[in-house]
Structure 1
């Protein structure tokens, strides 16, 4: 071999070695600094997905994501309503600690009487915006070099407390409103997201904005938070999807009745609303768009995906959209149907090492878990009420008997009562503020919350009550106050109306929506509008 040939071989070897170590370095980097995609659905119930037991709603994209994830079967929202849960996700704190205990905009104190509810208590005051002193999860990632993106529902304060004020570089559609102003089809009324064309679907648009952001971040680490306005009221869908699910309900057999009376409001017992089903499926279509964007850009192996909801499905109040059975209650309620959620975590390089886990987890755990997987130093003074789930996801055990706490000193629009909850070591105690009585459930038999064992285990109830009340005092929780103008006769009259007139109205509406000649309006909530 002559000198030139030897020199050429040496050069080739150097290039090969450089290429090898360069590729190896890139492979290491993607595990050191993974991308994050957080998908939060509004008002989605635990049983509103095919993978969690629905035989009516169709959610193939989310079902597939669940199969690629670890599914926590005892995953909980931090609250039974939206704003408190969202604040807990971003701060890593339980609601009584950060102070946002009701959806922002709900009336408190004497103003509650304007709702004509005639309740025994006046709801407590609460914090009206995400506290600026908190380091949000978005800020933690941004400070670590991540590009941060938010799309969809915010509902954590007005101007000055928008996503861009709490760590997000880009905000598409997040402002103070909790529902889709103007509806799910354009033209809508969102100052942070202008319509592109008439008839455009909001869920699809939010997904497209998220996918576009992903397309632009191929070579840098990102934290993307897709926060759907769906499946919040007003429930709307296209004629095509309505027709699909109307026919499906017919083929499955339409139940004669769809409601029963809960304590103060009727509650839905069946999943057969074709409008809601279409809204759920469109949200699933949107999730598919974003997951496809990850795959098309070769980022699916290096992106952690979170999927959850902010509270239980709406079974009472609002639009009486879904049933959460066998869980009792739904959004706004203190029982499992109000706080149990789909809770999926996909760590792609673990290949779903643990398929399912019944370890009790809650929204506050996302913050430390994601920091842990991204190799960002934990912030225990910030996410004080969360723990990293990394050991569980890697197949290890966590030695902890931590208590989980919920505090809701308000009345839910959906029929829930002012109450606080502690769950620990297989027990759950609910403390009611109207009369200070308790309900005690032994997990997991409490799914329908109809096996109150407080009389069988008085010492356990006392132990948990003292622990709960002590913790609430420790975090300076606020409490409801007695309404000195409470009128028993007015309350009884309202209850009678709900059990009779309202029940009849709901049953009629349910059958009307399932009738073949149903038509909400000429353009189907604007879904049939076309470009001029």
Structure 2
């Protein structure tokens, strides 16, 4: 009998040791806000918007002051995050069509846009799903009709639409299960919390609310608080502020739910925005311009990572990163390898674990199409008619170079000295200009980036 008990204890101890050796994979939450600007949150310095829950979360991990979206508008940025690849690899450059603005103002025929992300791309939720994760998309999808076909087990309100026709019911173009909430941002979170509350396996939640994208439809009970506040550096729209405030409240509910289920300490949380803030609604001083532009205001976004006991709190990094890095970073923390993937980003784990402070690489943006201006009387773009004309951008270290295909125009800025991008150094620093141009041209070749060269016969407006 003693021998039998001994054998039983040995087997039990063996099982116990094996269980301890098995890595505990983290849950994954990517919070990808729509059109939230770099300074539209308190932790990045806003003195107008109030975001206590987001600020609290940011203090638990590492904040990146030089965090970027990989495109300056919604669809391409989201395609880059999901594929982990630069825009020339998936061909999603804008919200269809690429012929934005008046034809007479466009000197070139722009590259044709890809409206729906090709299913040939193996994207983040598919990889996580294959490795035992339950996957949920909540909110704006914008890449196809149905995210379920792209690796999600659950879809909450996601479709091809880039914005809701209304934040109040009936939502018209947003198909979502009804609940106790009326305002769309609240309803998306209500359903997301149901998912978190019932899931029993490691999960991936792609929380991407339609907020704070237009239409600007306020939460009326919050507006008076901001009407009483003084505007600050171009931020003073009380209706928009109510949407930011309400979004923050919902993120607080998500934090509370994770803690109540004892999931918070083992959840990797990524917070970012799909592009810069909508200029005219909100401004990001000292950054120039806003959404749709490839000046800093159009692509620099709030960005942080949280994972308790794995990423130390109250960390700051000036390392330039982009949302292309989210995919490989998540796989690194989840312990997943997939040799078939060709990712253009890099895992940020060495930086998040404080093993290194820099990544020796360049960041690239490619936009071979047009985006018309919102307001020709109020903008900070290259010309009053377009937020951007066809071009490419490279950032290497502190240096950033813009190249425009219509006129072979070049702009060079040292962001460490000129974050506002006002002092073009292309002619005064010819060696640096040539260095970055050479890197950019090599990148075009390596990615087979389409370069628009065909003249538009309807072009007459030579501004």
Q: Give TM-score, length-normalised by structure 1.
A: 0.79
Determine if contact 1:152/1:229 at 8 Å carries over to the other structure: yes
**1:475 counterpart (430, 444, 447):** 447
Determine if contact 2:27/2:202 at 8 Å carries over to the other structure: yes
**1:349-397 deviations in Å (ceiling 9; x for gaps):** 2252670111111111111111010111154x53421111111111111
Name the larger-Rg structure: 1
User: 2:336 matched to 1:376?
Assistant: yes
Counterpart mapping for 1:133-532 below 5 A: 133-158=120-145, 162-181=146-165, 183-190=166-173, 192-196=175-179, 200-217=182-199, 219-248=200-229, 252=230, 270-315=234-279, 320-352=280-312, 355-379=315-339, 382-397=341-356, 400-414=359-373, 415-480=387-452, 481-488=454-461
C-alpha separation in 2, matches of 1:132 and 1:383: 15
Partner of 2:107 in structure 1? 120
Q: What's the offset of the Cα at 1:469?
A: 2.0
Counterpart mapping for 1:29-108 below 5 A: 32-103=24-95, 105-108=96-99
Call closer, same or farther: CA 1:195–1:215 in 2, change over 3 Å: closer
Q: Give TM-score, length-normalised by structure 2.
A: 0.90
Q: RMSD of the TM alignment (CA)?
A: 2.6
Determine if contact 2:67/2:301 at 8 Å carries over to the other structure: yes
Name the SS for the 2:304 alignment partner: strand
C-alpha separation in 2, matches of 1:64 and 1:88: 28
C-alpha separation in 1, matches of 2:12 and 2:260: 27
**1:233-253 deviations in Å (ceiling 9; x for gaps):** 0011122211111112xxx2x
**1:256-300 deviations in Å (ceiling 9; x for gaps):** xxxxxxxxxxxxx61000000001111111111111110010000
Deviates further, 226-235 or 442-451: 442-451
Q: What's the offset of the Cα at 1:451?
A: 2.0
C-alpha separation in 2, matches of 1:443 and 1:238: 37
Determine if contact 1:93/1:382 at 8 Å carries over to the other structure: no
Call closer, same or farther: CA 1:455–1:222 in 2, change over 3 Å: same
Determine if contact 1:99/1:477 at 8 Å carries over to the other structure: no
Aligned residue pair count: 447
Q: What's the offset of the Cα at 1:468?
A: 0.8
Call closer, same or farther: CA 1:345–1:145 in 2, change over 3 Å: same
User: What residue ranges of structure 1 are gaps of 5+ in the alignment?
Assistant: 256-268, 493-532
C-alpha separation in 1, matches of 2:427 and 2:299: 25
Q: What's the offset of the Cα at 1:483?
A: 2.0
Q: Which has the higher helix share?
A: 1
Determine if contact 2:37/2:302 at 8 Å carries over to the other structure: yes
Name the SS for the 2:131 alignment partner: coil
C-alpha separation in 2, matches of 1:306 and 1:399: 19
Determine if contact 2:60/2:313 at 8 Å carries over to the other structure: no
Name the SS for the 1:157 alignment partner: coil
